[in-house]
Amino acid sequence: KNQVEQSPQSLIILEGKNCTLQCNYTVSPFSNLRWYKQDTGRGPVSLTIMTFSENTKSNGRYTATLDADTKQSSLHITASQLSDSASYICVLLTGGGNKLTFGTGTQLKVEL
Amino acid sequence: KAGVTQTPRYLIKTRGQQVTLSCSPISGHRSVSWYQQTPGQGLQFLFEYFSETQRNKGNFPGRFSGRQFSNSRSEMNVSTLELGDSALYLCASSLGQWETDTQYFGPGTRLTVL
């Protein structure tokens, strides 16, 4: 079983709508949790980095939250745009800061 | 400021051959890390270099190796290629603090092993 599970696996929403992507993890403790956006055919782009003691971090229309008790993180996208269509990946830095565990990713498609 | 560059962008090799991929980090960045991305396994961490020293390593066989030069440029080498090595290889650079700094990824090198 993957230590970092993301849901849903894929999602289609209409432009302008909000959406929330989930990341459930079993690895503990961890140094930080990151969300990346990856456009097709391109390298990932960092959206947010949160330490285990932070609850929320925003980057424009992207807001990440972290609940250490339930071992869940969410990425909320507000007022979606066509350019938000991409894969979103949750990543945990564990093992004292020298091990990266990647989530399975959520493929988001924003349509007109 | 120029971003992370990787060369070549595409590469086709045959089983048993070896390959060297190159990564030039953003100017001033001293940490370079490498990743393998496949449809089946997703993103996986290979290793990270800082000041010409490998600081962190993922769970890949010894056929995968790397090095970093004094100008922070890094190379990754895969020997005795296998079909399963076909993947997108990404490198990322950061200022130096692997744990907290934002990582900037290059466009990747698409390796196909026939």
Render pLDDT for B12-65 as a digit per residue (tens, 0 to 9): 999 999 999 999 999 999 999 999 999 888 899 999 999 999 988 888 999 999
Q: Would you call B84 helix, strand, or coil by DSSP?
A: helix
DSSP-assigned beta bridge partners for residue B50: B31, B53
Given a cut of 90, is residue A99 above it in pLDDT?
A: no
Which of A30, A88, A100 to probe the B interface (max B CBs under 10 A)?
A100
Q: Which of B31, B65, B21 is nearest to B51 (CA)?
A: B31
Q: Output the CA–CA distances (angstroms, integers) from residue B65 to B34, B46, B75, B79, in the order listed.
A: 10, 9, 9, 8
Contacts of B77 (CB under 8 A, 6+ apart): B18, B19, B20, B21, B64, B65, B66, B67
Q: Render pLDDT for A37-91 as a digit per residue (tens, 0 to 9).
A: 999 989 999 999 998 889 999 999 999 999 988 999 999 999 999 999 999 999 9
Kindly tell me the burial class for residue A16, based on how many C-beta atoms sit within 10 Å of its own C-beta (0-12, 13-18, 19 or more).
Answer: exposed
DSSP-assigned beta bridge partners for residue A32: A51, A93
Which residue reads 């432009």 in tokens? A15
- One-letter amino acid for residue B75 of the chain: E
A3 interface with B at CB cutoff 8 Å: no
CA distance B47 to chain A (A): 10
Distance CA B59, CA B36 (A): 11
Q: Which residue of A has its CA nearest to B97?
A: A97
Which of B4, B42, B56 has its CB closest to that of A104? Answer: B42
The model's confidence at residue A1, banded by pLDDT at 50, 70 and 90, is low
Given a cut of 90, is residue A97 above it in pLDDT?
A: no
Given a cut of 70, is residue A15 above it in pLDDT?
A: yes
Structure tokens at B31: 């940490």
Residues of B in contact with A99 (CB under 8 A): 45, 56, 58
Kindly tell me the burial class for residue A99, based on how many C-beta atoms sit within 10 Å of its own C-beta (0-12, 13-18, 19 or more).
Answer: middle
Q: Which residue of B has its CA nearest to A90?
A: B43
Q: Render pLDDT for B56-82 as a digit per residue (tens, 0 to 9).
A: 888 899 999 999 999 999 999 999 999
Distance CA B106, CA B4 (A): 5
Which residue reads 């932070």 in tokens? A54
B104 interface with A at CB cutoff 8 Å: yes
Q: Which of B76, B18, B11, B71 is nearest to B45 (CA)?
A: B76
The interface residues of chain A toward chain B in range 20-59, judged by CB-CB distance below 8 A, are: 31-32, 41-46, 49, 51
